[in-house]
Amino acid sequence: MFKNALTVSLLTHLADRAGAACDGDVSAFTGACTFANFEDNLQAGCTLAELFPDGSADADADNAYAKLVERECAYGAPVNFGEIQGTYQRDRRYFAGGGTLVDGANVNVEAAPVRRFDANLADDTIIAFPEYAARVQYNIDTGRASDADQNGYPANMNLDSSCDLNTVMCCFTEGDFAGNSAATTDVCHHELDHSPESNHIKHGWSAFPGGQAPAHCVGFTWEDGAEELLGNMMFDVSLRQSVDKGKLYLKGVPGAPMCGW
């Protein structure tokens, strides 16, 4: 369903002698990450022999190439963002400011899979930007995608339709702000019609009188063409912030998504 892209950066140890034809995303395809899909979608001018010079000496070269690609599919291809918490619904509710990680009966238990991923895999893994099969038809029906150009991005984080500024931010309103001086801003009000999928309200606004609400906000921006690590940056400003170093940065500004743009 979604784009897989095996790049030279992932295959550096195999492609030191690859020419200019094998540069960037050497193979981009939809569906499963398999040798057949990889070979069928090699970019123009890039060949298996050029990309994998060490495999050409094998008597059964195709089999050698297949093993190399199979290994990259298993360990080099991006981890789907939804695999970190385990389900689309967990991510959907988290980004909206709720769910078991945010307000479950035992938040530390819910945070355990994220902490394990962070400790063991996050620093050496490419993470795909959040995208889910459950969103594809909904995005088409609501004008966030087309039949010809499908995507499964979440609300308020649609790379194709949400924002031209290439900026993502997560804001948390619950955490050890006083002890760690972590509050980065104060929140005065929120225009509810900017995030109807989080608050289910078409029009209106909310205000926080009698003292602005402290919030810990963190985000990132990027240039067009530099999207390869967007999923890693998204993890860093969202789930990692929520469970980092034993602190729990949780809950969003009332009526607003916890993460978006």
The domain ranges of the chain are 3-75, 82-260
Closest CA to 213 of 190, 237, 241: 190
Give the HSE-up count for residue 178: Cα atoms under 13 Å, Cβ half-sphere.
1
Q: What is the pLDDT of residue 64?
A: 73
- Helix, strand, or coil (residue 58): coil
- Helix, strand, or coil (residue 38): helix
Q: What is the pLDDT of residue 3?
A: 46
Q: What is the pLDDT of residue 239?
A: 94
Q: Say which amino acid occupies 160.
A: D
Task: Return d(Cα 161, Cα 29) in angstroms, integer.
Answer: 22
Q: What is the pLDDT of residue 17?
A: 40
Per-residue pLDDT of the chain (261 residues; tens, 9 = 90+): 344 555 443 443 344 444 556 776 678 776 677 888 888 888 888 888 777 766 555 545 567 778 777 777 765 667 889 989 989 999 999 998 888 998 888 888 999 999 999 998 888 788 989 999 889 999 999 888 888 888 899 888 888 887 778 899 998 887 666 655 567 777 777 787 777 777 777 788 777 766 566 788 889 999 888 888 899 999 999 999 888 866 678 888 887 888 887
Q: What is the pLDDT of residue 94?
A: 92
DSSP line for 185-209: EEE-EEEGGG-HHHH--SS-EEE--
pTM of the entire predicted model:
0.70
- Helix, strand, or coil (residue 259): strand
Q: What is the pLDDT of residue 75?
A: 59
Q: What is the pLDDT of residue 256?
A: 83
Task: Return d(Cα 220, Cα 241) in angstroms, integer.
Answer: 13
